[in-house]
Amino acid sequence: MQEKFKYVLLFLIVAFLFFAGTISKFSELIFISHSYLFALIILGIFVIFSLWMLTGKQTINKETFNPIIWITLAIFILLIATSIVKYDSIFETYRIIAPILLFIMLINLVRKETDWKIGIYSLVGFGLFIGVVSYIGFYTGPGFGTYALASIWGYQNTFAAFLVLMIQISLGLFLDETNKNRKMLLSVLPMFFVFLLFLTVSRGGYIAFFVSIVVFLLAMPKNNFKKILKGCIPVIG
């Protein structure tokens, strides 16, 4: 029962990501009420998560004690303590704490390969959903005739940054997959996200894409690097 409830928590987190993406329309201009709402939802899920950890006597992932997290929190506490406007500083701290709580939940929930795949496929599915809706909206809705793909999902640079993330994740899924049929289907995803990225006409997105590809290639094993290099030759040609 305890193990199955873990997937309920993962579902709540994924549902929150879909909800937050839909409400904010993946824009830089997020209403303050939305921001508070997102933080409260994360806090509510974290309370449920904490009760699950305590009642089930679950082991804590060592990454929870990553010094980077706690040094960051310590710096913010120090800045709040020395701030002239302490009330506003304390009130706005939720913007930092909420994502950290989300991170802590994920590293303690995603431990097995099955958990990892559920999370990654959910995220890619979310990206594919946004991408398809944005593409359709760009050509059929009010966005038709504009010079860049932003559509109903807000500012183009923000959307381009999201697409760069989706490209890297979908590439990782493609390289990790061993089944030939699934691998062939997964190969379409990074190409689709790259196509959308070019439609955004975002210079920042292009630069981020180039840098991410360089880092991706440098970090991967040499065998995979040679395979990708051979696969890129006909595309470049």
Q: What is the pLDDT of residues 153-187, one digit of tens each?
A: 556 777 888 888 889 888 888 877 788 888 888 88
Of the residues 88, 111, 134, which one is the last residue of a structural domain? 111
Same domain, 142 and 51: no
Residue 99, domain extent: 1-111
- For range 130-136, the mean pLDDT: 80
Same domain, 12 and 106: yes
Evaluate whether 98 touches 39 at the Cβ level (below 8 Å): yes
Distance CA 137, CA 143 (A): 7
Same domain, 88 and 119: no
Split into its structural domains, the chain has a count of 2
Same domain, 148 and 189: yes
Same domain, 78 and 150: no
Same domain, 94 and 150: no
Of the residues 76, 111, 146, which one is the last residue of a structural domain? 111
Handedness of CA 142, 161, 165, 76 (dihedral sign): negative
Same domain, 84 and 123: no
pTM listed for this prediction = 0.64
Same domain, 103 and 127: no
Scanning the structure block, which residue is given the tokens 């381009």? 160
Q: Using CB atoms within 10 A of its CB, is residue 167 exposed (0-12), middle (13-18) or buried (19+)?
A: buried
Of the residues 111, 139, 168, which one is the last residue of a structural domain? 111
Q: What is the pLDDT of residues 67-95, one digit of tens each?
A: 877 887 788 778 777 777 666 666 666 66
Same domain, 51 and 7: yes
